[in-house]
Amino acid sequence: MKRLGWQAKLSNVPTFSKVFDKVSEGKAEYGIVPLENSIESSVNDTHRLLLRNGLSIVGEVYVDVHHCLMARNGVSMEEVRVVYSHPQALGQCSSFIDRHGFKTAPMYNTAGSAKIVSEEKLTYAAAIASERAAELYGLKILQRDIEDDVSNTTRFIILGAADIIAMPTRNDKTSLIVSLPHKPHALASALVSLGGINITRIESMPAPGKPWEYLFYIDIEGHNHDNRIGDALDDLAERSSWVKILGSYPMAEQYAKTFDKGD
């Protein structure tokens, strides 16, 4: 809603792969999935899906994460034995959970954990989710802001069909995956291509089917339609085994709805 507007019609699915499927099959115009968290680092499932799927990243949004502990009306903190939530949220609240001696039950997402506690009428359990989830499922908030770090922020990416292009705004970001030859100085040679371009993120991930070889996920400032960026990526492709451009899109601060169909 923060990125696409309150008028957006929302559809929930149980896994990140289903989000990709819905968009690929044309059953949803856009999909939104988490890419990285300021505490728990990267969301590996999303990175793997970006590698093997043909969707484009057309936008991003940063969301401050404030977790609440919630339960059904009449359930007190002292009665809670088990806490339901997504593994990322459980990790982000680990100090609070350990301090109270709660057992944990990982779920497919935070809102889903609130739904289960509500609909299954659990009296010994609570959920960790957002304040909005408590409102949606009629749960009582037992405690707010239980995350370990008050600066906790998650970066989400917005996925669109491969032919959707986010038009240049002069404040853009380009994301790509790079596979490098398995030899000395390969990374240093590749980064020469990006000289003079601000690299906002670079992270290695294991290459599927190639033990101890890695792919590099890179974010740079600039749009693929800019000549300087395009030339740099052409040079990078010559120094690499292959390059997959995931998309060029407005940086989160822009919130510009500039998605157009490409040729």
- Residues 6 or more apart whose Cβ sits within 8 Å of residue 65: 37, 89, 92, 147, 152, 153, 154
Active site residues: 154, 156
Residue pair 240/179 in contact (Cβ under 8 Å)? The answer is yes
The 8-class DSSP code of residue 8 comes to P
> Cα-atom radius of gyration of the chain, to the nearest Å?
21
- Residues 6 or more apart whose Cβ sits within 8 Å of residue 11: 22, 27, 28
Strands 82-85, 103-106: pairing kind: parallel
Neighbours of 69 (CB within 10 A): 26
Residue pair 25/159 in contact (Cβ under 8 Å)? The answer is no
Length of the chain: 263
Rounded Cα gap, residues 135 and 91, in angstroms:
23
- Residues 6 or more apart whose Cβ sits within 8 Å of residue 17: 45, 49
| Positive or negative: CA dihedral 160, 164, 169, 175 | positive
Rounded Cα gap, residues 190 and 118, in angstroms:
52
